[in-house]
A and B are shown apart, each in its own frame.
Chain A
Amino acid sequence: MIASTGVGVGLGLLPALILGGGALVCAAVAVSRPRMRPSLYRWLTLLAAAGAFAASMIELVSLRPDHNGVGLVAYSGGLMVDRFHVFGTVLVLLVLVLTVLGAGTYLRRSPARAGAFCALLQLSAAAAVMLVAQREMAAFTAAFALLLVCLVLLTAMTKTSGPTAEAAFRQVLVGGVALATTVYGLVLLYGATGTTDLSRLDSGVRVDGPLVTVGMALVVIGLLAVIGAPPLQSWMRDTQETTTGAIAGFSSALGAVTGTTVLLRFAVEGFGAGSSRWMLLVTVLAVMAMLTGGILALRARTVRRLIADLSIAQSGFLLLAVGSTGRGIDGTVASGPIALLFALMGAAAALVAALLLAGVFDAAGLPPGIDAYRGVGRRAPATAAFLSLALLSLAGLPPLAGFFGRVLIAESALNAGAGWAVAIAGVAMVLAAIAVLRWLTAMYADDNGEAPFAVSTTPLTSRAAAWTAAGLGVLVAALAAPLIALANGGAGALH
């Protein structure tokens, strides 16, 4: 444990404070110097991200003497300074950096909104970083509300487009429902435990009592909205289809990372692994998401819709890992948390990559339909190849990160006694893979004779960021061993 509470609190808050500070600076500059070049805001954001990363590393170093990886529990669980928090923070920062680097086209087209855009990115990231450190109801609610508002504003920024305005409105509605559902759930849990610290659920309270069960269920369903899983997934599909690649990628990836890590902490440290009901609920929801995403992906006629459906299926796999905690059938602890953290690395990178690359093609003037993508393998070979990598990773095909993540999740689910869910997961994987293969066929088919298009309308930096994100799918697979060790360290802090 960190000796000094003040130091520990400072370390825990520092990444979020730096990001929040960066957002304020961007906002201030945007207000005072409206004609400032967009690249300045990008640099400010990168600087803030670097600062937050350095703060996370300092936090990690301070945790080194602790074998459990837990540094401090402050404010009744309102701030958890531990390796899990560091892991989640680094993932959030990765998504932030890839997005800000890949948003070149948007910044070029809307220079007046660059400041607000970068500020919202940083504020969303700060909210996400705070959420990952939460185990206390009130602080969680505040951070959750902040995150939802920031994501809505990001969607609404592209307000020149009618569908985007509609998507933003729908996101407000769904976000409101999600927030309300989560708050109602937390209220029930507060009523059952008499405290706002979720860890108290596991001590002296009947975990399977009706009040607690309903409360858990509402919290889980509310968080599903951020993750983008059924039944509250519609906003994510709309956002991914109507906004720019950068905003869509950021919202999706950040939502997946934040929602699942928060749910995992609640599951392990709050609800506890002893409650079979919430685990069953999460597993059922996971199966629904996997099947929904897989079936819808088969019918996707646009690339954005395909990516949206694949992300729904992917969220199902991540939820399956959340439901695979507790004691396994072989007597050991089921490895759901480790599998989830590892899978998140590849999932976040693949989502950001796929949406950024779809944005590159959009910016080049290519219509989003499958027929328009015929022959892009020849017309834009590098971009098409990286998009193929990202889609294959999202579908979970080897030898990419998505495959490894799914195998580890399946093992943990089998060990947790959810063999039936694994069988359905296999079906869902096949469906998703078939959907992706359909698109690859079109992309590498003979040219349809359409006029050539130029991906160079997207700045090279942005294209490179998108390629890098797609390449991370290969890198995560290649470095599976050390990354799983890191995930093990992060998950080990949960207890």
Chain B
Amino acid sequence: MSAALQVLWAAASAAQQAPRLAAAFQPLLAAVVPSVSAAPVVTAVPATAPSIAAPAATVPGNILATPTAVPSATPTPTTSSGLDLPSVLLSTVVFATTLAALIIVFLPERTAEQRSRIRSVALGAAVLSLLLTLVTLGSAISLGVAATPDQLHEENASWITHFGFAIHYHLSADGVTLSLLVLSTLVFTSVFLAAWKRQQRVRLYCGLLLLLETSVNGALCANDLLLFVLFFAMQAVPLFLLIRCFGAGDRERSAQRAGIAVLISSALLVTGFLLVIVHSSAHSSDLAQILTASTSLSTTVAGAGFWLVFTAFALGFVVVPAHMWFLSAAASASSGVSAVIAGVLIRLSGYGMIRFALGLFPVQAQRYGSALLVLAVLSAVWGVLLTLAQRTMRRMVAAVSIGQMSLVLLAVASPNTLSLDGAVLQLVAGGMSSALLLLLCGAIEGRTRNVSLDRLGGLAAQAPRLGGFWIFACLAALGAPLIAGFSAELMLFTGAFPVHPYATVLVMASTAVSTAALLWSAQRVFLGPVREEFARVRDASTLELGYLWPLVVFLIAFGVLAGRVVPVIGTGLTTLAASLGGAR
């Protein structure tokens, strides 16, 4: 135990260096976002991290009592609102891909040039969404905790009012949303790049991916319950068709399972949300209005609502035992689609778990915390067993993702600002690392025509760059320092340990074992004697470098700049922390 503590202390000390490194990147950030001050900003987050005892002091009774206790960045000197962008920015991020999908419906697909045009339109929309998201994130970082919703381009308009309750077109992008938007837009951009050489059914493939991206981005930005469900449920058809039409192996069954999971999840969400809307005095489906409604839900209704919403997200969150659809989908879908599923879609359910299950029902989340904890431990342990049992790369990566999601569930079961900050960062880091791994799986499978770990080996000689990326991705999944996962896991475990020490240790150990298995796969696939059948395997091409490097860069950026990113995430969790504090 003392050795473990010493390791943790050393790691935390290293994390303390993060702000100094962040300061070194300040000029670069200023160059990208001119309104950002060039003065270095010292963040307070790492200062709380190193002490194992400190979180216990700041988390009495497992709850962060007041918002003022939230670790936050020192407010930057104010500036104006960053870039002066129009308030339709979030709508543009969400619907740019829809517009592109509509355009490509009318584009012909007979010649190679026409197919290239389709891919260009799709990629252009994805890149536009990514750039706008990065600009907004830059604004948020520069404004720090002083950022107001208007400054972060919130859009709020009454939509449907002539009914029993009002539905709002309410898009907002707090720190939590922005972080996950970066993940989503980045992964989709990489997937579109990865599909650049596709020649079959390009229009259908790109169209479905664009609709899927609209669904994810819209759900992340939605701050109205029914608007969220609308976007969330939209993923069912594109996901189903992408797996069924472009997958391999047992794609029919995989597509059915994935589609059914999303449909059941959506139905449960609609029921749970409507229960809240009907019983709330807000007469509105706007999340903010419901949270500030004068009368609270009765115990029975809140309990029913919590379990409906939790179960809905648990299905998408791949909590054991509802994980089988994910394993088969990741194995059967094309590498790009499986990267989206593992990197984005399951993380979206994690976001929903934090934003809605925890946000709407803080009392119930704590009352049933033991049950959530059991599920978290079960998922972690089962994830390990699954990882060790897999003989194919894709399924191994998918099993590791199940373990990663168990960390987020652990944070939900022991909610405090530190663990939740870590959970959100873990969603981002885990999403990027999983997407990177699955895209690499696709590259390797395409070269070797082989998916079995037992039949691969010695590829490092022919493909050293691919090997380097794989090892980096494994380290990212493991949570090595300077990569995003490290800060995430540190905060998450530090926040959860005082609340549930034994469960935290179990989950930590499970995570370590499963990611060690992933590293072992690197040894199996890339090291060892060169196999004759792979003698002509080529290394990563320029195109592959083009979609792999951005994921690597962002993983490092989120790791090095954690001190700048975490406070932004923290501002998004302020309301949640307040409701958790009120739930004591």
Contacts and interface: CB of A to CB of B under 8 A. Distances in A.
B248 interface: no
A411 interface: yes
Interface stretch (A228-236, A330-338, A456-464): A330-338
Nearest to B211: A399
A176 interface: no
A335 B163 contact: yes
B38 interface: no
Given A397-B237, A481-B159, A434 B260 contact: yes
Nearest to A441: B244
Contact of A398 (B162, B165, B234, B275): B234
Contacts of B165: 411
A410 interface: yes
Interface stretch (B77-85, B265-273, B383-391, B540-548): B265-273
A184 interface: no
B162 A484 contact: yes
Nearest to B218: A399
Contacts of A403: 230, 233
B23 to A, nearest CB: 45
Contact of A426 (B237, B241, B271): B271
B259 A434 contact: yes
A441 B241 contact: yes
A410 B268 CA distance: 12
Interface in B132-185: 159-165
A434 B256 contact: yes
Contacts of B229: 398, 407
B263 A434 contact: yes
Interface-centre pick from A398, A408, A429, A481 (highest chain B CB count, 10 A): A398
Contacts of A481: 159-162
A412 interface: yes
Given A434-B263, A437-B259, A441-B240, A426 B279 contact: no
B274 A410 contact: yes
Contact of A399 (B163, B230, B240, B264): B230
B168 to A, nearest CB: 11
Interface string A116-129: 00000000000000
A144 B221 CA distance: 50
Interface stretch (A45-53, A187-195, A354-362, A415-423): A415-423
A429 B267 contact: yes
Interface in A420-445: 422-423, 426-427, 429-430, 433-434, 437, 440-441, 444-445
Nearest to B105: A385
B161 A414 contact: no
Given A330-B279, A408-B163, A444-B204, 13 more contacts: A328-B164, A330-B281, A330-B283, A335-B164, A338-B162, A338-B163, A397-B236, A415-B164, A429-B263, A440-B237, A441-B240, A441-B252, A488-B163
Interface of B: 105, 159-165, 204, 226, 229-231, 233-234, 236-237, 240-241, 244-245, 252, 255-256, 259-260, 263-264, 267-268, 270-271, 274-275, 277-279, 281, 283
A469 interface: no
Interface in A454-495: 480-481, 484-485, 487-488
B260 A414 contact: no
15 contacts: A328-B278, A329-B278, A329-B279, A335-B163, A398-B230, A408-B163, A411-B274, A411-B278, A414-B278, A429-B267, A441-B252, A481-B159, A485-B161, A485-B162, A488-B162
A330 B164 CA distance: 10
Contacts of B271: 410, 422-423, 426
Contacts of B231: 398
Interface in A373-400: 377, 385, 392, 397-399
A440 B164 contact: no
Contacts of A408: 163
A411 to B, nearest CB: 5
Contacts of B164: 328, 330, 332, 334-335, 338, 411-412, 415
Interface string A295-330: 000000000000000000000000000000000111
A118 B105 CA distance: 36
Contact of A430 (B237, B240, B256, B267): B267
Contacts of B204: 377, 444
Contacts of A329: 278-279
A377 B241 CA distance: 12
User: Closest 8 interchain pairs by CB?
Assistant: A426-B267, A488-B162, A335-B164, A485-B162, A430-B263, A414-B278, A398-B233, A441-B244
B210 to A, nearest CB: 14
A332 B277 CA distance: 13
A414 B230 contact: no
Contacts of B277: 411
A433 B255 CA distance: 13
A426 B270 contact: yes
B260 A407 contact: no
Contacts of A334: 164
A427 B263 CA distance: 10
B284 to A, nearest CB: 12
Contacts of A426: 267-268, 270-271
Contacts of A330: 164, 278-279, 281, 283
Most chain A C-beta atoms within 10 Å of own C-beta, residue among B165, B240, B267, B271: B267
A407 B274 contact: yes
A437 B160 contact: no
A414 B234 contact: no
A249 B24 CA distance: 68
Contacts of B230: 398-399, 403
B260 A430 contact: yes
A454 to B, nearest CB: 19
B98 to A, nearest CB: 10
Contacts of A430: 260, 263-264, 267
Nearest to A338: B163
Q: Max chain A CB contacts within 10 Å: which of B161, B233, B255, B281? A: B233
Contacts of A385: 105
A479 to B, nearest CB: 11
Given A398-B233, A445-B245, A484 B270 contact: no
Nearest to A422: B271
Contacts of B264: 430
A427 B267 contact: yes
A403 B263 CA distance: 12
A324 to B, nearest CB: 10
Nearest to B165: A411
A445 B244 contact: yes
Nearest to B267: A426
A385 to B, nearest CB: 8
B275 A419 contact: yes
A484 B164 CA distance: 11
Contacts of B270: 407, 410, 426
Contacts of A444: 204, 241, 244-245
A143 B415 CA distance: 64
**Residue among B245, B278, B283 with most chain A CB within 10 A:** B278
Contact of A433 (B263, B278, B281): B263
A398 B504 CA distance: 39
Given A397-B236, A437-B240, A422 B259 contact: no
Q: Which of A334, A397, A429, A481 has the most C-beta atoms of chain B within 10 angstroms of its own C-beta?
A: A481
B180 to A, nearest CB: 21
Contacts of B255: 441
Nearest to A481: B160
A429 B226 CA distance: 17
Given A426-B271, A427-B267, A445-B244, A392 B278 contact: no
Contacts of A429: 263, 267
Nearest to B240: A437
